Each structure stands twice: as C-alpha cells, then as structure tokens.
Amino acid sequence: MKNMKLQYVFVLFILVVIAQLLVPAQMIFGQETVLNKGTAYKFKTQPVDPSDPYRGKYVTLSYDIRSFITSDTIWERKQDIYVYFENDSLGFAKLTEVSKIPLVTAKDFVKTKVDWFNKYDKSVKFNLPFDRFYMEESKAKPAEDAFRIAQRDNLPNNTYALVYVKEGEAVLKDLFINEVSIKDYVTINKNEE
C-alpha cells in the first residue's frame, strides 16, 4: 500500500519534471524556428541600459519605427496592434501600415501593444516587442556609450538590430554598429583604450 503511494507520487513528479523541461525547451524550439525559417530585417535603433533582477543586464532598444500616422482615431492604451513592414532599398525595415486586426497580406508583421495616441498629429505610438538585448553585465553600459558615439558621426544608418520574423513571431538575433556585432565592437573599443 505504502509502495503504491510512493509510485503514485513519483509518477506525478515525473510529469512535473517533464513540464519543467518542456517549457524552456518549447521556448528554444519556437525561437530556433523563427531564426532558421524567418526573414531577416534590420531595424534602426538606439539603446539605453537598465537591468532585470533575474535575467541580468540588457540594453533596451528604442527603434526608429515607433509611431504611425493613421486616419483611425480610436486607439486605446495597451490595445493590440499589428505592425506591417517590408525592406526598403537600403535593406532596412520600413513601416508600411498598422492595423487592429490581422490583415490578409503577404507582408511580415509583429504584434505589439499601443502605447498612446497623439490626437494632434494623429499618430499612434507603440514599441516594437523585441526591445531587449541581453549582454554580459560588464558590456551593457559600454555598449550604450558606444552607440551614442556612433550616432554622433555623420555616417547614416550605422546602428541597427538584426531581427528574424516569421508569421508574427520575431527573434532579435544581434545588434550592430557600423556592421560590427555589438559584443565585438565593445571588446575592440576596450582593447584600443
């Protein structure tokens, strides 16, 4: 009888173990699918540097794509918004339209939340959902500084995020300054100093 109970407890425990393993595994699977099969886009961006108690340091990215002028004037805070975009001639992502419901179109999109609606210039504001880039803790702050310096020079389009998008799912792969990955850029700058 006692043994039966132990078996019962153990079987339940195994189910819990499987669930605990499945959640991170499923996250990995979803992200890998987007990275392998999704389309790559470059989003022009600027970083700032906060941190998260459990997941460590990251840079928050503020994208150039963050508002859209629309004739629709009824937008509520935190409402779902579908943002559609395509690649422009220079290879950067360009916003084409926004919608409250998914549209029937071949264009790629991401789903995010409305930040607020500006009544005066009739633009709806939002943040793209892939706005966090995790970095080694010693590099997050230098990365932010490096970005600011790179923004100041006269070269156009020199800071961007490489994002893979597939069926509304987006994965932020890397961050670039002047075509150099941010991790390497920070290391190079450190060595030069």
Find the part of the chain contacting another protein (CB under 8 A) among 41-49, 63-71, 88-96, 134-142: 134-142
Contact segment (CB under 8 A) with another protein among 10-18, 66-74, 83-91, 99-107 equals 10-18
Nearest to 173 by CA among 71, 9, 39: 39
Beta-carbon contacts of 130 under 8 Å, excluding residues fewer than 6 positions away, are 61, 110, 161, 163, 170, 171, 172
Q: Is residue 80 involved in binding another protein (CB under 8 A)?
A: no
Partnered with residue 169 across adjacent β-strands are: 166
Residue 94 CB, shortest distance to another protein, in Å, is 22
- Residue 75 binds another protein, judged by CB under 8 A: no
Binder of another protein out of 1, 4, 55, 193 (CB under 8 A) = 55
Is residue 52 close enough to count as binding another protein by CB under 8 A? yes
Whether 44 and 64 have beta carbons less than 8 Å apart is answered as yes
> Is residue 17 involved in binding another protein (CB under 8 A)?
yes
State the nearest-atom distance from the C-beta of 18 to another protein, in Å.
10
- Report the alpha-carbon distance of residue 76 to residue 79 in Å, rounded: 6
Question: CB count, 10 Å around CB of 16?
Answer: 9
Q: How far apart are CA 185 and CA 143, in angstroms?
A: 8
- The correct pick among 16, 74, 101, 106 for binding another protein (CB under 8 A) is 16
CA 180 – CA 97 distance, rounded (Å): 30
- Chain residues in the site for another protein (CB under 8 A): 6, 9-10, 12-17, 19-21, 23-24, 27-28, 31, 52-58, 77-78, 129-137, 139, 171-173, 183
